[in-house]
Each structure stands twice: as structure tokens, then as C-alpha cells.
Amino acid sequence: MNNKILYICFALLAVSIPSVAERHRKDVQEIPFHLYRNHLIVATGKLGPLADRNLLIDTGANPTIIDESLAYELGLKPTGGRPGAITTVAGVAQIYYATLATFDLGPIHRDSIAVAVANFSLINAQTGLRIDAIVGLDAIEPTNFQIDYLSRKIQFGTIHMPSRTIHMVPNKTFVVVAAQLNGDVKRLV
């Protein structure tokens, strides 16, 4: 009798494991990306009505920045924010703020997203790519995501977290991570 109960328990466990794995697969959506220079993550997305745009994913960027030639093509007009400057991978760029009607990256869809607009000619020249937008954490959050460098995919949804992770804490300007240095907890940008 005990063997029969044990067998039934194992059978139920075996049946439930595939369904849990299947549910996990349905809850996770993946998009491919290209890795340039071993650190530049470029995925394809949609900015307004324009599909197949090169989006440089920069989780440290905030706000998302659109190339000014694309902003002109989309008819984006400056909003109330003052023009200013922002530091990018290519250096300091002059910017103004605008509102992008829609933004799509894999399962992420945003309406009326506030963006900065800057001239990307220097970034494009330095990287050898046509970058249409630098996508910051503001466009991706609050969606859970994981960047898998080995498979060259970004996974969105219910993510199985590896044993070693670094949790990011966004603030108004930077993304901060907590690290322990010589026994003291420090906040790193």
C-alpha cells in the first residue's frame, strides 16, 4: 500500500513538473539582440509608427533618448522641459525633451513616453552603427527582465533568477547597486 501511494505521488509530481515548466515558458517572452564591441546591446523595436529601429539598451540611461533626425521624421516637438545637456556613451550631448507617441520593445508597449532628443551622429560614427534610440530603464521598468549574454536574448516576464544577481535601484538620475566593499555597504552608480 505504501509503495502504491509513493508511486502515485511520484506520478503526480512528474505530471506537474512539465506543466510548471510550460507555464514558465508562457510567462517569459524573449527577443534577440546583437552585441557589439562586447558591451553594446542593440535590439530591434518600434518607435511611433516606425518599425525595425535599432535600439541601444542602456539600463543606466534615464530618460530614453531619441536621435534628432528620427524625432524630426516623427514630427516630435519640444515639450515644457528646458533644453540642456546629457552625458552619453559618446560624451556630452545637447538635448531637448519631447513626447514619443508609442514605444514597443518585445512585449513592452508604452504610450506617450517622455524622451530626450539628441544628435546621434557622433555616437553612430563612433560605434559604426545607426542607433535610433538609447533605451533607458524608464522605458523598460516596471517589467522584469534579464539580459542573457550567452544566448543573446533579453527575457521579459516571470524570470527564473540565477543564484547570483545584482538588484538595481533606480533613482531620478542613475541606477544604483549596493555592494559590499571591505565590510561596508556602498551604493555604486
Task: Report the pLDDT value the prediction gives residue 85, as an integer from 0 to 100.
Answer: 80
* Biggest distance spanned by C-alpha atoms of the chain: 78
Task: Report the pLDDT value the prediction gives residue 126, as an integer from 0 to 100.
Answer: 85
- Over residues 83-105, mean pLDDT: 83
Dump pLDDT digits (tens) for 18-51. Answer: 444 444 456 889 999 999 988 899 999 999 999 9
DSSP 8-state symbol, 156? E
Task: Report the pLDDT value the prediction gives residue 22, as an integer from 0 to 100.
Answer: 44
Domain positions in the chain are 29-188
Dump pLDDT digits (tens) for 57-85. Answer: 998 888 899 999 999 999 999 997 677 88
Task: Report the pLDDT value the prediction gives residue 108, as an integer from 0 to 100.
Answer: 93
Task: Report the pLDDT value the prediction gives residue 13, as an integer from 0 to 100.
Answer: 45
* CATH fold of the domain at 29-188: Cathepsin D, subunit A; domain 1 (2.40.70)
Average model confidence (pLDDT) across the chain: 80
DSSP letters spanning 99-127? EEEEEEETTEEEEEEEEEEE--HHHHHHH
Give the pLDDT band (50/70/90) at residue 86: confident
8 A C-beta contact, residue 59 and residue 169: no
- Over residues 95-106, mean pLDDT: 95
Task: Report the pLDDT value the prediction gives residue 71, as an integer from 0 to 100.
Answer: 97
Mention every residue, 6+ apart, whose C-beta is less than 8 A from residue 78: 96, 97, 98, 117
- Over residues 136-165, mean pLDDT: 83
Q: Which residue has the higher pLDDT, 145 or 55?
A: 55
Task: Report the pLDDT value the prediction gives residue 11, as an integer from 0 to 100.
Answer: 47
Give the pLDDT band (50/70/90) at residue 143: confident
Distance CA 54, CA 42 (A): 6
